[in-house]
Amino acid sequence: MDVDPRHYDLVGINENDIHNVVLSYLVHNCFNETMESFIACTGMKQPDDHLEGMEKRKRIFNFALDGNALKAIELTNQLAHDLLEKNEELYFDLLSIHFGELVRSRKCSEALEFAQAKLTHFGKVQKYVEKLEDFMALLAYEEPDKSPMFHLLGLEYRQKIAESLNRAILEHMNLPSYTAMERLIQQTTVVRQCLSQEPGKDTHAPFSLKDFLES
How many structural domains comprise the chain?
Answer: 1
Is residue 203 in a domain? no
Lowest mean pLDDT segment, chosen from 32-41, 163-172, 201-210: 201-210
pTM score, whole prediction: 0.74
Question: pLDDT tens, 149-198?
Answer: 999 999 999 999 999 999 999 999 888 777 766 766 776 677 666 766 65
H/E/C letters for each residue in 88-133? HHHHHHHHHHHHHHHHHCCCHHHHHHHHHHHHHHHHHCHHHHHHHH
Is residue 173 in a domain? yes
Is residue 199 in a domain? no
Is residue 87 in a domain? yes
CA distance 26 to 44: 13
CA distance 21 to 179: 8
pLDDT the model gives residue 62: 96
Lowest mean pLDDT segment, chosen from 5-9, 66-70, 84-88: 5-9
Question: pLDDT tens, 109-147?
Answer: 999 999 999 999 999 999 999 999 999 999 999 999 999
Whether residue 29 has pLDDT greater than 90 = no
Is residue 161 in a domain? yes
Side-chain half-sphere of 2: how many Cα atoms within 13 Å? Answer: 3
Is residue 188 in a domain? no
Q: pLDDT band for position 37 (50/70/90)?
A: confident
| Domain of 94, in residue numbers | 12-182
Residues of the chain with pLDDT > 90, as a percent, come to 53
Task: Kindly write down the DSSP assignment for every residue of 127-181, as one continuous string.
Answer: HHHHHHHHHHHGGG-SSGGGSTTGGGGSHHHHHHHHHHHHHHHHHHTTS-SS-HH
Q: Please state, rounded to an integer, the average pLDDT across all residues of the chain.
A: 82
Is residue 195 in a domain? no
Is residue 198 in a domain? no
